[in-house]
Amino acid sequence: MTGGPAGGVAGGAARDLVGAATGSVLEVRDLRVWYGTARGPVRAVDGVSFDLRPGEVLGLVGESGCGKSTLGRALLGLLPEGTAVDGRIRFKGRDLVGMSGRELHALRGPELGLIFQEPMTRLNPLMKISHHFVEALKAHQPGLSKAEMRERTIEALRHVGIPPSRVDNFPHEFSGGMRQRIMIALALVLRPAFVVADEPTTALDVLVEAQILRLLANLRTEFDTAMLLITHNLGIVAETCDRVAVMYAGKIVELGDARDVFADPKHPYTRELLRSTISLSTTGLHYIPGAPPDLAEPPAACRFHPRCPEAMRVCAGVDPIEVRAGGGRRVLCWLHGPHDKVPPGGGERLEREAISVADEA
Amino acid sequence: MTQTTLTPAATPEPRPGPRAGARGGLRGALHRLFAPVIEARGLAKGMLWAGIVITLVFVVLAVFAPLIAPYGFAQYQDHGQVFPKQGAPSDHHPWGTTVLALDVLSRVIWGSRTALEVMLLAVVVSLCVGVPLGLLSGYFGRWLDRVLVLIMDALFAFPYLLLAIVAAFLLSNVLGGGVATAALAITVIYIPQYFRVVRASTMSAREATYVEAARAIGAPPRTVITRYIFSNVVQSVPVIATLNAADAIVTLAGLGFLGYGIQPTDAAEWGYDLQRAVADAGAGIWWTALYPGLAIVLAVTGLTLVGEGLNDVYNPTMRRRRFRKIVFPPHPPEAPAGAGAAAADDGTPA
Amino acid sequence: MPTKPEAGAAAGNTAATTTPGTAGTAPDPAAVDGAAAGGGEILLDVRDLHVHFALRGGWLDRFAGRDRGSVRAVDGVTFQLRRGEVLGLVGESGSGKTTLGRALLGLVPPAAGSIRYEGRELVGLAERRLRPLRRQLQMVFQDPHASLNPTMDLERAVGHPLRIHRLAAGEAARRERVAAALERVGLAPAERFLTKFPGDLSGGQKQRAVLARATILDPKLIVADEPVSMLDMSVRAKILELMLDLKRQLGLTYVYITHDLGTAKFLCDRVAIMYLGRIVEIGPTEEIFGDPKHPYTRSLLAAVPEPDPTKSLPREVPRGEVPDAAVRPAGCAFHPRCPAAFEVCGWEGRDLRALLEQRWTELPEEQFMAETSTIGDLAALDGQTGTVGVPTGAGKTAEDVAALLAEVRAGDPAEPLWRGVRAVRVAGGHAAAEFFDGVDPGLVQAGGVEVACHLHDPEMTGLADRLAAERER
């Protein structure tokens, strides 16, 4: 909304140029990740594009079953058997799509990191914490001496606030928050350029969550690590992310500066999602009727139209076209144009049957 | 789906789709039990069906033995004519006769009936004892659990054949040397197996929230065990039961071979026949040992295949999903092919 | 529990006389219901309730018959619940809120204390005697998937309470009531859901079914343990709305257990903030959220992430995590994390250990190495109170240790721990830190709420001032 039509395009183009000049860590173009099932392909990620600059945190939000975790895993090449990937994931000039499992494995750790929701399941209960670090360092930086590895371990743990006196403890001797700190240290000990954090604080209490979020914020400025933060908690995104991508039914429906998007959501889904979040300032209950669609048979055209309070006739008939708003904002919604592509009569309100209250996620 | 074209997906069905859903009561339960069997794919399917076919053949032989077998299992003469001893296969005796002048083919067929009887009796009795004990022990714990575990572990630690022999020996004084004795002797071996499996899954089910929820709605322990725990615990039982059935045939044959099994006058039994055929093998008489031996191998193989197939089918971690190959359709030209191709519009609403 | 019972009982009396201050003014129907009942009868009266869990030691302990003691999951809780009210039990994991909720329904046996439901004592009641009461006391669990038996269809699952309590004559009558219950929770048309198994339903639908099962007997009290925390953001509002609807239709009273302050603020008439088995602050929702008294409540509220771009993360997040309830901190259990803790809050040896360890994660390499070698094994500090001997490192003297402690103190004089130290002395070849004795805080009235914090107890702040004068500079 900041500039005219030309301004919007110029702004976007300029941003892309800057991105190219400083070298985006990650460029995702038209990524599709489909699962093969007996009912046909499940389109978990269906045409997703975005860039990530060094040190930038991109929040990825949406309801469960919208493909957030699949996207995160696809970026790291961690997809289950029977998944097909199409599109481009350019990481430091190399395309991760089509890379062999061995090559990807070599990249994971030193270049690509992952922070999980439940840290205990990722730590070997029979291995001392120091041993976990030694294993990771050995695998990816074989030249290090024993003393150097120990030094790096203590340093990494100190960074996340784990006292050196505890490096030789076992995972079960730590609390949930400490374990998540250890996982973060483990993900960052090799200084990866890009990290996916999949709901890193969901299992934690609110105070520990705040600690971990502050820690993540400090670390990315220190290490210049780019991060994709997957979460269902919009509050976390508002407080820790530079930009936010809103995902619905396998597509990014809105992407932009986190403050801008939260202050002035353009896509009806973003707006409804914000309204349905219960926070300390909530005074009335609001929710989106219905549930995210079955991605094996997504609704035609705009996938949100069956639940959208502002759906027009065109929304059910023609695929929406991505539109750039000012400030690098992208929206995938017919409300925002392009208006010359809307067929005659397409702007009329869509008549629908009411969605039953029990049809919900 | 009678909807207009403009409302393609008001999601009329909840997402998990049309699986299992629309049946209640016993039919629903049966459907849920057998659906995975019908839906089984690949190796599991092959194993399962091969096993079922082999097993069915033996069941048919056992059930219709009087009709199929040319002679009785203890018959050594026909129309006043005594059968030859160790007679080679001939028109009258296609698989030959034994040292006791019994028809091998008839013995094998009648033997399948004995095997089936012993197997069923052993499995049913051990189920009926082991499962309830496991449920009680796992649910109530404390001293009951300790005592039962002690007894069961003692039984389990015993070499199983030795245990069966001792049991058979003790029981034969009371029940004689018939099918019941052999079956009960085998039962003693299997009770601890059901007990252990059921107790372990009961102990984990006891901690489940739905059990606490059942207590919260006021369900007494009996209801909790029968309505909430039992139905979730029995799912592991069919697999063990089938594998035990296979094992029971071997054990029965073992008992018979060692002379602690069923007396030849009570019923035909493969192990006993095999034992009597040991001496024949050196004299070039192959038919007396081959056919009973083959029957044992086949019956055990059939049941094992069923058991392993069921295991694959019911155990989701072992289950191999079949994947459809995905061919991506080309993108429609106006689709957003990355940031560069986004439409040039400022996004102001109309 | 030396100071607790008296304090708890006194607090209980005051709580009984406190009424929400908003009677009749709030337009929200839930609040009106709550307030209308506010002056009314007490449904549940809990006094000094304790729930202990025995600790299971390792196999060696069990073999040797050694007892590893017990955890006080609920450690002296007193509150009243009025008919028609929604009381929130809010706390982090380990606060004992779930155990308290289960104890209210007799699902875990209390070690001591009293729960009176409509005047009837529930503590010590045999399961058999409790069972008829379960018609009136129901529970909703956190995980809707786990709280339904996967092998029962909804008709049987929701109708099972009727069968257990023999309340419906015949299959047809039962089916009718089940259908009505399902429709009441929005699972309509009921015919579509009667034959469904839990595996066929979404999370929200399962929680609706659980609510149908909980309400089919027309209960009076429902303890809802995090009923929406496992659900998607967009479904939570629907379930909360349903809970409010059911409350209006059936005249229910709720105990709402949660760690989510947002939903608690919206749903509850009164809120009890719990920490390590005790209530640290209890009062009307508006007061707790508008003017939190306890430092713990304040930090909780500051830490909640808000989807508001103008708000950013708080500077001050309390350090550390909820401590192990088996080794409860001395004095106020929150003091090791409290930014406002002072002389009487219960400082002890392990707080010094935590302070040093925290410092060492922040120091540069050489200094950190030097300091670790000056002080011996920090584990020696655990379990010490009063005069705490600080171990000396190999080749160092007690004076070195005392000097280091002085340096640490000078480096961060604002650290609350030093307010609890009377002096650091060297005696008998050892350095020792002398801590003031801590006092266990009881609930005291502060404004419209009750709070267990010395900051709001004039007697304690006075004592602290006198102690501060004793402190050696």
Which residue does chain B place closest to C154, by CA atoms?
B24
For C153, the closest of B24, B208, B213 (CB atoms) is B24
User: Both tokens of residue C111?
Assistant: 């070690």
Chain C residues touching residue B28 (CB < 8 angstroms): 153, 195, 197
Cα atoms found within 13 Å of the Cα of residue A278, Cβ hemisphere only: 25
Which residue does chain C place closest to A237, by CA atoms?
C307
Which of C131, C163, C197 should be substituted to probe chain B, the one whose Cβ sees the most B Cβ atoms within 10 Å?
Answer: C197
> pLDDT per residue over B271-325, tens digit each?
888 888 777 777 777 887 888 888 889 999 998 888 888 877 776 555 555 556 7
Can you tell me the distance from the alpha carbon of C248 to that of C266, in angstroms, rounded to the nearest whole number? 16
Q: Give the gap in angstroms from C-alpha A236 to the nearest C-alpha of chain C.
A: 5
Backbone angles phi, psi at A94, to 5 degrees: -115, 145
User: Both tokens of residue A175?
Assistant: 């609390």
Class of residue C96 by CB neighbours under 10 A (exposed 0-12, middle 13-18, buried 19+): buried
Can you tell me the distance from the alpha carbon of A314 to that of A343, in angstroms, rounded to the nearest whole number? 7
Asked if the peptide bond before residue C144 counts as cis, ω within 30 degrees of 0, the response is no
For B346, the closest of A38, A306, A325 (CB atoms) is A325
C-alpha dist (Å) from residue A117 to A177, A200, A201, C93 = 11, 5, 7, 16
Q: Nearest to residue B335, comparing CAs of C404, A86, C172, A310?
A: A86
pLDDT at residue number A167: 86
Is C131 in contact with C216 (CB distance < 8 Å)? no
Chain B residues touching residue A29 (CB < 8 angstroms): 337-339
Q: Which residues pair with residue A115 across a beta bridge? A: A197
Chain C residues touching residue A165 (CB < 8 angstroms): 357, 360, 372, 378
% chain B with pLDDT above 70: 79
pLDDT at residue number B320: 52
Cα atoms found within 13 Å of the Cα of residue C255, Cβ hemisphere only: 29
Interchain CB distance below 8 Å, A319 and B334? yes
Interchain CB distance below 8 Å, C160 and B219? yes
Class of residue C466 by CB neighbours under 10 A (exposed 0-12, middle 13-18, buried 19+): exposed
Type of residue numbered B210: Y
> pLDDT per residue over A205-227, tens digit each?
888 888 888 888 887 778 888 99
Is residue C208 within 8 angstroms of chain B, CB to CB?
no
Interchain CB distance below 8 Å, C240 and A64? no
Q: Give the gap in angstroms from C-alpha B158 to the nearest C-alpha of chain A.
A: 33
Conformation bin of residue B289: beta by default, left when phi > 0, alpha when psi is -120 to 50: alpha
Interchain CB distance below 8 Å, B16 and C200? yes
Chain C residues touching residue A213 (CB < 8 angstroms): 305, 313
pLDDT at residue number B334: 43
Can you tell me the distance from the alpha carbon of A69 to that of A250, in angstroms, rounded to the nearest whole number? 11
Residue B74 confidence class, pLDDT cut points 50, 70, 90: confident
Chain B residues touching residue C195 (CB < 8 angstroms): 21-24, 28
* pLDDT(B339) > 60: no
Chain A residues touching residue C98 (CB < 8 angstroms): none
**Angle at A177 (CA atoms; ends A176, A180), nearest 5 degrees:** 90
Chain C residues touching residue B21 (CB < 8 angstroms): 195-197, 200
Can you tell me the distance from the alpha carbon of B172 to that of B263, in angstroms, rounded to the nearest whole number? 11
Chain A residues touching residue C263 (CB < 8 angstroms): 278
Type of residue numbered A84: A
Provide residues of B within 8 Å CB-CB of chain A: 3, 5-12, 14-15, 17, 321-326, 328, 331-332, 334-340, 342-350
Consecutive H or E run containing B112: helix B104-140
Is residue C392 within 8 angstroms of chain B, CB to CB?
no
Interchain CB distance below 8 Å, A326 and B346? yes
Q: For tokens 């929400």, what's the residue? A: C20
Q: Give the gap in angstroms from C-alpha B172 to the nearest C-alpha of chain A.
A: 52
Q: Give the gap in angstroms from C-alpha A280 to the nearest C-alpha of chain C.
A: 4
C-alpha dihedral sign at C463, C468, C469, C472:
positive
Q: What is the maximum alpha-carbon separation in chain B?
A: 108
* pLDDT(B91) > 90: no
pLDDT at residue number C267: 93
pLDDT at residue number B321: 55
Residue B39 confidence class, pLDDT cut points 50, 70, 90: low
pLDDT at residue number C49: 95
Q: Give the gap in angstroms from C-alpha B40 to the nearest C-alpha of chain A.
A: 13
Pairing of strands A329-332, A251-257: antiparallel
Task: Name the DSSP letter for residue B84.
Answer: P
For B216, the closest of C107, C142, C200 (CB atoms) is C107
Is A24 in contact with A75 (CB distance < 8 Å)? no
For B20, the closest of C105, C132, C197 (CB atoms) is C197
Which residue does chain A place closest to C238, by CA atoms?
A287
> pLDDT per residue over A141-199, tens digit each?
888 888 888 888 988 888 888 888 788 888 888 888 888 888 888 888 888 889 999 98
Q: For tokens 């001050």, what's the residue? A: C316
Which of C183, C187, C228, C232 should be substituted to probe chain A, the one whose Cβ sees the most A Cβ atoms within 10 Å?
Answer: C232
Subunits with 3+ Cβ pairs within 8 Å of C are A, B
Can you tell me the distance from the alpha carbon of C338 to that of B266, in angstroms, rounded to the nearest whole number? 84
pLDDT at residue number A247: 95
Residue B239 confidence class, pLDDT cut points 50, 70, 90: confident
pLDDT at residue number A13: 38
Type of residue numbered C198: P
Can you tell me the distance from the alpha carbon of B322 to that of A38, in angstroms, rounded to the nearest whole number? 8
Segment A130-150 shows an average pLDDT of 87
pLDDT at residue number B132: 92
Interchain CB distance below 8 Å, C300 and A207? yes
* pLDDT(B12) > 60: no
Type of residue numbered C367: Q
Q: Give the gap in angstroms from C-alpha B182 to the nearest C-alpha of chain C.
A: 36
Q: Give the gap in angstroms from C-alpha C133 to the nearest C-alpha of chain A.
A: 31
Can you tell me the distance from the alpha carbon of A232 to that of C234, in angstroms, rounded to the nearest whole number? 10
Chain A residues touching residue C378 (CB < 8 angstroms): 165
Is residue B231 within 8 angstroms of chain C, CB to CB?
yes
CB atoms within 10 A of CB B91: 5
| ipTM attached to this prediction | 0.83
Q: Is C116 helix (H, G, I), strand (E, B) or coil?
A: strand
Interchain CB distance below 8 Å, B217 and C149? no
Residue B72 confidence class, pLDDT cut points 50, 70, 90: confident
For A306, the closest of B7, B331, B339 (CB atoms) is B7
Residue B349 confidence class, pLDDT cut points 50, 70, 90: very low
**Angle at C257 (CA atoms; ends C143, C264), nearest 5 degrees:** 115
Interchain CB distance below 8 Å, A41 and B326? yes
pLDDT at residue number C270: 95
- Residuewise pLDDT in 10s, chain C (473 residues): 333 333 333 333 333 333 333 333 333 444 434 444 445 689 999 999 999 988 765 556 656 655 567 888 899 999 999 999 999 999 988 889 999 999 999 899 999 999 999 989 999 888 888 888 999 999 999 888 889 998 888 999 999 999 998 887 788 899 999 999 999 999 878 888 998 888 888 888 999 999 999 999 999 999 999 999 888 887 888 899 999 999 999 999 999 999 989 999 999 999 999 999 999 999 999 999 999 999 999 999 988 888 776 766 566 778 888 888 888 888 899 999 998 888 889 899 888 988 888 888 888 878 888 888 888 888 888 888 888 888 888 888 888 888 888 888 888 888 888 888 888 888 888 888 889 888 899 899 988 899 999 999 888 888 888 888 877 65
Interchain CB distance below 8 Å, B20 and C199? yes
Residues near B29 by beta carbon (within 8 Å), at least 6 away in sequence = B231, C151
Q: Which residues pair with residue B165 across a beta bridge? A: none
C-alpha dihedral sign at B158, B162, B168, B171:
negative
Subunits with 3+ Cβ pairs within 8 Å of A are B, C
Is residue B24 within 8 angstroms of chain C, CB to CB?
yes
Chain B residues touching residue A4 (CB < 8 angstroms): 346
Pairing of strands C253-258, C70-82: unpaired
Consecutive H or E run containing C303: helix C295-303
The more confidently predicted of residues B134 and A19 is B134
Can you tell me the distance from the alpha carbon of A148 to that of A133, in angstroms, rounded to the nearest whole number? 12
Which residue does chain B place closest to C161, by CA atoms?
B217
> pLDDT per residue over A21-51, tens digit each?
457 889 999 999 998 877 788 899 999 999 9
Can you tell me the distance from the alpha carbon of C1 to that of C77, in angstroms, rounded to the nearest whole number? 12
pLDDT at residue number A20: 45
For B324, the closest of A36, A330, A332 (CB atoms) is A36
Is A171 in contact with A179 (CB distance < 8 Å)? yes
Q: Give the gap in angstroms from C-alpha B231 to the nearest C-alpha of chain C.
A: 7
Is C43 in contact with C220 (CB distance < 8 Å)? yes
CB atoms within 10 A of CB A189: 24
Q: Give the gap in angstroms from C-alpha B234 to the nearest C-alpha of chain C.
A: 11
DSSP character string of C40-70 = S-EEEEEEEEEEEEEPP--HHHHHHT----E
Helices (H), chain B: 25-39, 42-63, 65-68, 104-140, 142-157, 160-175, 179-206, 209-216, 221-223, 230-233, 237-258, 270-282, 287-314
Can you tell me the distance from the alpha carbon of C397 to that of C428, in angstroms, rounded to the nearest whole number? 11
Q: Give the gap in angstroms from C-alpha C314 to the nearest C-alpha of chain B.
A: 35
Which of A172, A206, A241, A283 should be substituted to probe chain C, the one whose Cβ sees the most C Cβ atoms within 10 Å?
Answer: A206
Read off the pTM: 0.81
C-alpha dist (Å) from residue C100 to A302, C206, C297, C442 = 48, 24, 19, 18
For C313, the closest of A177, A214, A237 (CB atoms) is A214
